[in-house]
Structure 1
Amino acid sequence: MRLDKFICKSTSLDLVETRLVISQGQIQVNQQIATDAAMQVHENNHIELLGKRLFARPSQYFMIHKPAGCICSNKDEAYPSVFNAVGLQQSEQLHVAGRLDADTTGLVLATDDGRWSFSITRPEQHCPKVYRVSLAKPISEKAIEQLERGMLLQGESKATLPAVVKPLSPTDVELSIYEGKFHQVKRMFAATGNRVKALHRQQIADIVLDIAPGEWRALSQHEINCFS
């Protein structure tokens, strides 16, 4: 991880304070003064602050039920940050594994473990993301065939991986996809001539959303191990 992230994870300093002590030459990595906040360090490195060795706290893993009208960011922008929206503290150290649009609701995973989140998002993991999709028009058999075969979206050089489509009503479907392209679900249905009215993520791999909108909880060890 980055040196500044390691310092935040092993002290009570925030990111601004951490970068200050790094720039002042107060940090040593393997007996060498380190002044680059972006320097990559590892858990087995010997890292000291003013002569005291630092050890990173255990990683944190959370489930969030994202409400509509917030963004998967650490800071408020045009919309409030999802962390502020649900009242999850220490959000500066966390990042979202698999973002959702501002108007999309449902399951968000947050962590300070970069390797863990990378294993969720890389296509080779073949990690299913399950969505409940409400459509403007009834879904057609042709559209289901297109989605389940894989389709080339505008601006992409490769077709999407085959999806799994489970109709729930004429205008509601459960959709499982195995990658996370930009606005992928909305673009897939737009390519079939339909429009997504509401989108809700209810599951990632074996982790199923089980808390109310606007709530969060720590993941169980079993849930964490899904991607370890």
Structure 2
Amino acid sequence: MPALKRLDQLLSNLGYCSRKEVRYLLKDKRVTVQGQYANSPALKVAPETVLVDGEVLDTPEGILVMLNKPLGYVCSHDSAEGMRIYDLLPARWESRNPKIVSVGRLDKDTTGLILVTDNTQLVHQLTSPKHHVDKLYEVTVDRPLQPDIIDAFAQGVVLGDGAEQCLPAKVEIISENIANVTLNEGKYHQVRRMFAACGYHVEALHRHQFGPFSLQDLMQGEWQAVTLPC
């Protein structure tokens, strides 16, 4: 049987209010436990027995969502950096503890799949270089792609001044200026830098897949809850 939690701690961790503010929810009879109005912040409860304003608690088991990131959004909590991916998600989630974070990042000029979670262990599992999680990108470049780029990526592109070499990656040329690229690293601006090292400028970059997750029909700006495949 799962351990019971203090009501004030539970509601605070899920972003409903601070622990001190729970008493106001109780005073206004907005919280019930097993169908009865709660009268003590210290009450030990099972999350599935608690309702706030007649609604079940918002994902008490934790958050894992897949978001189709639009162009111009940043994977940052700092609103000074511009439009944030977190602005596309329920506002309450940013008050949760643990805090929600993106699994890796996509830069402002990249669109596509980004995962958001409050599970720090999962973040490590999906981003650690030790786990070699594949990511699939659609890349549009500024000039016709030459077949030799397939071998260049397969051998491991050398970046910048030659001090850094990427692991082998797979390129599939889709049309004159578009290719699919599969890699399992996460270096800074890696896809753009790999193509630049081969003499191409990336004009558009979109991530379709991240490990076992795929965008499929998810529209830009939309998100959906997902679970890890067994």
Q: Pick the TM interval, shorter chain.
A: 0.7 to 0.9
Q: 1:194 to 1:119 in 2, by over 3 A?
A: same
- Counting only pairs closer than 5 Å after superposition, residues 29-178 of structure 1 correspond to structure 2 as 57-84=60-87, 86-92=88-94, 93-154=99-160, 157-178=163-184
Residue 126 of structure 1 and its aligned partner are, at CA, apart by 1.6
Tell me the equivalent position of 2:202.
196
The superposition leaves residues 20-65 of structure 1 with CA deviations (integer Å, 9 ceiling, x where unpaired) of: 9xxxxxxxxxxxxxxxxxxxxxxxxxxxxx9777999422100001
Contact 1:88-1:216 at 8 Å conserved across structures: no
- Structure 1 residues 182 and 53, CA gap change in structure 2 (3 angstroms): farther
The alignment partner of 1:77 has SS state of helix
> Which amino acid in 2 is paired with 1:69?
G
Matching residue of 2:221: 214
Q: C-alpha separation between the residues in 2 aligned to 1:68 and 1:89?
A: 21
Q: Given residue 86 of structure 2, which amino acid in structure 1 is its aligned partner?
A: F
1:82 is matched by which residue type in structure 2?
A: I
CA distance in 2, matches of 1:173, 1:69: 22
Structure 1 position 138, deviation (Å): 1.2
CA deviation string 1:72-123 (max 9, x = no partner): 1123223211110x24333422100020000100000000000011110012
User: Does 2:189 match 1:183?
Assistant: yes
Pairwise CA distance, 1:156? 7.5
Q: Residue type of the partner of 2:140?
A: S
**Aligned partner of residue 81 in structure 2, secondary structure:** coil
| TM-score in terms of structure 1 length | 0.72
Partner-residue secondary structure (3-state), 1:109: strand
Query: 1:186 is paired with a residue of what secondary structure?
Result: helix
C-alpha spacing 1:60/1:156, structure 2 compared with 1 (3 Å)? farther
- The residue type equivalent to 2:10 in the other structure is S
How many residues are aligned here?
187
* Aligned position for 1:3: none
Which stretches in structure 1 are left out of the alignment for 5+ residues? Answer: 1-7, 21-49
Q: Which runs of 5+ in 2 are unaligned?
A: 1-7, 21-40, 48-59
Does the 8 Å CA contact 1:10/1:55 hold for their aligned counterparts?
no
Tell me the amino acid that sits aligned with residue 143 of structure 2: K
C-alpha distance in 1, partners of 2:89/2:116? 13
Q: Matched residue of 2:112: which SS? A: strand
- Matches of 1:214 and 1:59 in 2, distance apart? 21
Over aligned residues, Cα RMSD in angstroms?
Answer: 2.9
CA drift at 1:214: 0.6
